[in-house]
Amino acid sequence: MSTVIEETTPQAASTPDAILQAAETLFARQGHEATSMRQITTLAGVNLAAVNYHFGSKEGLVQAVLRRRLAALNQERLRLLENLERQAEASGQAVKPSQIVDAFFGTLIRMARQDRAGIWPLLERSMTEPTAFIRTLFAQESADVLERYKQAFHKALPGVPQDEIVWRFQFMLGASSFALTGTEELRAVMGWQSNADDPAEDERQLLPRLMRFLLGGLRAPLQ
């Protein structure tokens, strides 16, 4: 009963956001498996009852954190694609494959850079620790936007069989996922040292390098 009463106060109105922000910070820093509910409630300044009231369980909280981030990412992807399609219709030309690739995959990288403390490490952790319910959540939240982009690729590449486009889209998703998680482990295994004088140069070059790679795969000759 006390929890319900607290919800009527102005301070308690921000409780869900405080919980989400605390959980996101901790999940990004150490992964959701290693994060305890006590750590989340301590950082958010709330009690366990508040978490259970708003999210039901830790799994529900993980889903809410990821859903909030994925929703923003996919909304931006759809906005960009719709703009491209309107411009193409007005000019009587088709949307270029490179524009579609940039709208989908480039948006992920750009949003990650804008919020290095949030979406980048959070998605990195989620991709490297993909439990069953997280995989299901990613599929559910991205189903509509994936279908829209698949249709856009079909229109932009009329000579490529649909099954081949789906395969290449899957390969592009995998490459982008690994690009997002960084190269630290690869550097350690291969003894690879960057030649860039500027430590941030590799990061600045990530998007153009990834775009060149993805477009090369998308445009690869058919067998």
> Three-class SS of residue 31?
coil
pLDDT at 12: 44
Residue 23: partners with Cβ closer than 8 Å, 6 or more residues away? 35, 40, 44, 61, 62, 65
pLDDT in tens, the chain (223 residues): 333 333 333 344 489 999 998 998 888 788 788 899 999 999 999 999 999 999 999 889 988 988 888 888 999 999 999 999 999 999 998 899 999 999 999 998 888 777 665 556 666 666 655 567 677 777 788 889 999 999 999 999 998 999 999 999 999 988 887 777 666 666 667 776 666 566 567 677 888 999 999 999 999 998 7
Q: What is the pTM of this model?
A: 0.78
Look at the chain and report how many structural domains it folds into.
Answer: 2
Burial class (CB in 10 A: 0-12, 13-18, 19+), 52: middle
Looking at the fold, whether 97 and 207 belong to one and the same domain comes out as yes
Q: Report if residue 60 sits inside a domain.
A: no
- Please report how many Cα atoms fall inside a 13 Å half-sphere around the Cα of residue 152, on the Cβ side: 28
Token pair of 105 as six digits: 């995959």
Looking at the fold, whether 129 and 179 belong to one and the same domain comes out as yes
Q: Report if residue 63 sits inside a domain.
A: no
Looking at the fold, whether 83 and 175 belong to one and the same domain comes out as yes
Q: Report if residue 159 sits inside a domain.
A: yes
CB 49 within 8 Å of CB 37? no
Looking at the fold, whether 73 and 111 belong to one and the same domain comes out as yes
φ/ψ (deg, to 5) at 130: -80, 85
Looking at the fold, whether 202 and 107 belong to one and the same domain comes out as yes
Looking at the fold, whether 48 and 73 belong to one and the same domain comes out as no
Looking at the fold, whether 190 and 108 belong to one and the same domain comes out as yes
Residue 63: partners with Cβ closer than 8 Å, 6 or more residues away? 133, 137
pLDDT at 223: 79
pLDDT at 89: 92
Looking at the fold, whether 76 and 166 belong to one and the same domain comes out as yes
Looking at the fold, whether 79 and 12 belong to one and the same domain comes out as no
Looking at the fold, whether 78 and 184 belong to one and the same domain comes out as yes
Looking at the fold, whether 125 and 16 belong to one and the same domain comes out as no
Residue 29: give its domain's CATH number: 1.10.10
Domain span at residue 21 reads 2-55
